[in-house]
Each structure stands twice: as C-alpha cells, then as structure tokens.
Amino acid sequence: MKHCPIMVLGTGSGVGKSLVVAGLCRWASNLGLKVAPFKSQNMSNNAAVLPGGGEIGRAQWLQSKASRVTPRAEMNPILLKPLGEGRSQVIFLGQPLGVFGISEYKELKKELFPKVVMAFEALREAFDLVVLEGAGSPAEINLLDEDIANTRMGRAAGAKALLLGSIDQGGVYASLYGTWMLLPPKEREIIAWMGINRFRGDLSLLDSAHRELTRLTGVPVIGVLEHLGTLPLPDEDSFSTSKRGSEMAGSSHDSPIRVVVLEWPHLSNRSDMDPLLYHPGVSVRFCPLDGSLPEGADLVILPGTRQTVKDLEMFRESALFPWFMGYVREHGRVIGICGGYQMMASDILDPEKVESSRQWTPGLALLPFSVRFEKGKLSRQVSLMWQDGSGIGSAALSGKWLSGYEIRHGRNRLHSGSPLFSLRDESGEGLLGEGSMNASGRIFGAPVHGLFDNEPFRQFILNEWLNGNNPGGPDIESIQDEALDRLSVRVSKAFPIIGNVP
C-alpha cells in the first residue's frame, strides 16, 4: 500500500531534521512498511560510498540503515561538497559532475531539478513510503525562487510536512511562526504539523504556546520531542564537530589510551573515529588547529580532509604543528587516513589543479610515497588485508579481510618498502597494494576510510600496536541499530504522523 510522502522541514540548520527523519524511517520499517529516505540536495563533506560505487550524504546513508534498505543514489540526488571560496564539488546521482561556483550552480540547478524529481519518483514507485528531508530553512526569501530542497520539492512530491523547530537554541515559537509567515500561501499548504525538538522540563509549560501558535497559523503543534542526550549515531557534518571542538569524548580523561584527532578546517568523514568513541579504555580528543595544545597522546590521527593542500598549509602555520613535529621526534605513534595520509607523503602533485592552484606541495615526508591528484575520482567499497611483509606481524589481523571504502582523487606511489595492505574492489578483482609504514613501525597510513569499523583492526591498534590491555570493543553496528530503535520509539510518540496524514 502506498502512503502519502512525509517531509520534515526545519526552521534552520541544526534543528534535528536528519535524526527525526531517521526515527520516522525506523518507525515505518517496524510497522512493516518498505520505506526510503530522500533529500534532494545535501551539503556535507561527510559522504558514504554506495554498493557498486558512488556517493551520498552520510545522513541519508544512516536513514537508509534506519529503513533497513540498501542505500541508493536516488536517496540523495545532489550532494554538494564545499571547497571554500563559494565553490563546491557537485555529486549527482552518486557521480561527480565537477566544481561549480555559486552563480554556476544556480544555473545548473535549473537543469538538475527535473532529474531530481525523477529520482524521487523512482523511490516512490519502489517503496511504500518515502520520508523527505528539507535543507536549512524553507523561508530564505532571497533564495526562495531557486530553492530545490524544501517546499518546492515537497509540492512536487505531493508530501505533507512537519515543520520542526529546536527549543534548545531559544526563540522556537518565533522561529516557527516566522518561518510560516514568510512562506507564500502556496508554499505553506504542505505544512500539516509543527513540532518542537530538544525540550527539557515540564511539557505542560508549553501548552498555552501551542494553542496560540495553532490559533495564529491554523497548523496544529502535534508534539514535542524531548532532548535525546548523546546517541551513538554518526554526525551529519562538521556542525556538531565544531560545537564539540576540543572536548573529550568516549571514556574518561584518565583512560589508558589517549587518542588525539587533528580537526582540520575541512575535516571529512569524521565517522571514521566513531568506533573509538564508544570503546572502553579509550579517550578521544578532537583538536582544532586554533585550539589548545594536547597535554599528552598515545596516538595521533590525521583524519580525512576535503582540502588536503589547504589544510596542510594551515596546519603548518598553526601552533599545533610544532607540537605535532615534537611528538613525532619523540617517537609518537601516528595514523593517517585518506587526506591525512596524503599529507604524510614526501610530495603532493596536482598538475591538473584538481584540488588546489598549486601543482606541487611538499608533504610532511613522514612516509616514503608521493601522491598525485587526478580528475578521475575513486568512490568504491573495498576489502583489504594486512601484509606481514610490512614488518609488523599481527595475530589480530593475520589472514583477515577488512572492509572499508575510498573517496579520493589522489593516486599514491610508494618509493620504498612494501605496501601495508593488499586491496581489492567489490568484484574481488583488481588486487593492488596500498598504504605504507615508516621504518620504525610507529607511523603508518592508508587511503581507506572505515578501518576502525573492523574489530580486528581496533584490537591490533589498541592491544598489539599500542601495547594496551583493552577488552573487545563494542559491535558498532549493533550499538547504532539499538540507538535507531530507541530513537524511533521517541519520535513515534512525539510526532505520530505516519498513518495520520490529513
């Protein structure tokens, strides 16, 4: 049975649309519906790789997981990966179209929107229910004519929308009423409900405000979602990362293993660190380049970045750089992931100016390889196996295939030594070597995301390489699945809109 599409609009960014959509999707799945998420346009440097290749936003990947369905490119037709200075790489239906400035993309949207609607229609045909997510605010009146992510998309889908506001930021009723008032009458028509997110306290205190808001707008305030606290679910983008800044996460400060993650200005795929956040006996600190210096570290991670050269230059100019180089000289242990791994090369070559205007940039020269950026982008799921020829054997990793994914323009050439991993694509073919380790065995990296999702890799790092004594870590898949179930219960009680479309 086909259900009317449901849309979650927000009074602004960061009000909780993505998690509410995930909760609705899991609720629908628990009801026995075949459900799919949809967001016409997302802006994020946190992407997930689809089976068979291609990218979608990490939020839509999580929502597909909540729906218990395989993620598809149609779930997020347009993914904008910001590069700074008003430029973004445009990913359409999983594949890169190119880099566009603001005015160029404004024209491109006119061409893409009919195809976006077709992507939605493909999902509507294949699923019982599609739950749409808006982007930012639908009431940016200077952009209303060109907005393809909010009420225009909702009207094209024939959706009924929940307008969501967050009381955590303050001014939630002014935000809800102001958003509704600024929308032209035809755009307001899809708003069937209003809802409050992140409330703490006595719900009865809100009753009079809800009655007045309904009187003013004619739209019922259907419910209130109380503050969820910290859920073990991946962040959509750097918004929540920057809010946390250099806070400690995971275990307490005196944990035996202290992990420092360098928080690049263009940090990507922060979810690589999520399994460490929930691992017993591990503390994780994210250190912005302009933040306070770490007091100590057992491991420093150079994570992924969408702007390898720019972030490397900013790193070199920061107070964190001499601290890091001193840490390396004192035989500290370092892991580089994707863009962070590229920084560790001797040379970074970009003859076609794919990522920056500089055709050559000296790397940190921590590992014996060079990287060359090419226009062709690798976006694929991979399997990889630790090579004992790396110089460090591992009981935890021996003979085991790990899973991961690549999202990169860089091609790496090893100058000496043996590759750290044997790597193959989803077909099981194309075996090649990737990754490298320095002579001391204390510094290594690879251009692959998702390594810490593998329990054998975590055990190797924490117990063998760092000489820790950590028990087996949590099953991150099970933890996140349980969190989605808890989320769905809370969302279904707060916003009982599935099967309740007016």
Domains assigned to the chain = 6-228 (3.40.50.300), 238-479 (3.40.50.880)
Q: What's the whole-model pTM score?
A: 0.91
Selected residue with higher pLDDT from 396 and 173: 173
Examine the pLDDT at 229 and tell me if it is beyond 90: no
Q: Which residue, chain included where needed, has tokens 């306070």?
A: 292
Examine the pLDDT at 75 and tell me if it is beyond 90: yes
- Strand partners of residue 8: 133, 162
Picking from 37-41, 42-46, 385-389, 426-430, which range would have the lowest pLDDT averaged per residue? 426-430
Task: Indicate the pLDDT class of residue 244, thresholds 50, 70 and 90.
Answer: very low
Nearest to 272 by CA among 449, 405, 462: 449
| Pairwise CA distance, residues 399 & 40, whole Å | 42
Q: What is residue 98's three-state secondary structure?
A: strand
Nearest to 190 by CA among 389, 51, 6: 6
Question: Is 338 known to be catalytic?
Answer: yes
The residue type found at 308 is T
Residue 176 host element (H or E): helix 172-182
Q: pLDDT at position 245, please? A: 38
What percentage of residues in the chain have a pLDDT greater than 70? Answer: 93
Examine the pLDDT at 243 and tell me if it is beyond 50: no
Q: pLDDT of 131-166, one tens digit each?
A: 999 999 999 999 999 999 999 999 999 999 999 999
Selected residue with higher pLDDT from 267 and 1: 267
Question: Is 449 known to be catalytic?
Answer: yes
Q: pLDDT of 419-466, one tens digit each?
A: 999 999 887 776 789 999 999 999 999 999 999 999 999 999 998 899
Q: Which residue, chain included where needed, has tokens 């600190």?
A: 285
DSSP E strand stretches across 338-458: 347-349, 360-362, 369-386, 401-414, 421-425, 432-434, 436-437, 443-446
Examine the pLDDT at 239 and tell me if it is beyond 50: no
| Residue 270, CA atoms < 13 Å, CB-side half-sphere | 28
- Main-chain phi, psi angles of 97, to 5 degrees: -95, -25
Check 4, 338, 409, 415 and give the catalytic one. 338
- Main-chain phi, psi angles of 42, to 5 degrees: -125, 145
The residue type found at 4 is C
